[in-house]
Amino acid sequence: MAMTTLGILGSGSGSNMQAILDAIDAGDLDARIGIVLSDHPDAYILERARRKGIRAEVIDCSGHRMKFPDVAQEETVRKLRDAGVELVCLAGFMRLVKRPLLDAFPSRILNIHPSLLPAFPGLEAWRQAVEAGVSESGVTVHMVDAGMDTGPILGQERVVVFPDDTPETLHARIQTVEHRLYPAMIGKYAAQLKL
């Protein structure tokens, strides 16, 4: 099986991308990151990528704060294809992926979400969990479809919610699990696709 070329889409600091890089460097994930794209020009994920010599570019969403315009998705597709990307990994990407991108990479876009889906889709799932008073939350890796965190689930891991948890303390424990689970599930899924 050949090494899988990944494309990473992120909006923030890129800690999950760093976990993927660490797994690659440790020999635990047979992949390379071909390109990192962000919808925020000042997102730290771009800096992380550039420091590792990885192509890092901005997605121009034409001033839209939340929407992912078709023209921006088409440009994203061009950049991903140009970089030879086989599997797209969302890492804290805060826009809803739609048809231009889904059609270009059918069953080839993964996301990590900080809850046990279908519970607590959307933003700040760790805060939703604490506010709901649940006793457990967790992490889900899933394929991306046109819905909000609704794609087929590939793997999950539970995280206990303690009575004295704040959104911040729960989020920190969830991130520790994310950083282990995401690279493992990327490798497993790439092997299933025989990339």
* Residues forming the active site: 113
**Residue 37, CA distances (Å) to 15, 145, 180 in order:** 14, 19, 22
Which residue in 123, 119, 162, 168 sits closest to 139, CA to CA?
Answer: 119
Answer for the pair 175, 67: CB distance below 8 angstroms, yes or no.
no
Task: Count the Cβ atoms, other than its own, within 10 Å of residue 63.
Answer: 7
Number of residues that make up the chain: 195
Token representation of residue 124 = 């700040």
**Angle made by CA atoms 39, 69, 78, in degrees to the nearest 5:** 70
Residue 90: beta bridge partners? 9, 111
Strands (E), the chain: 4-10, 31-38, 56-58, 87-90, 109-113, 136-143, 153-160
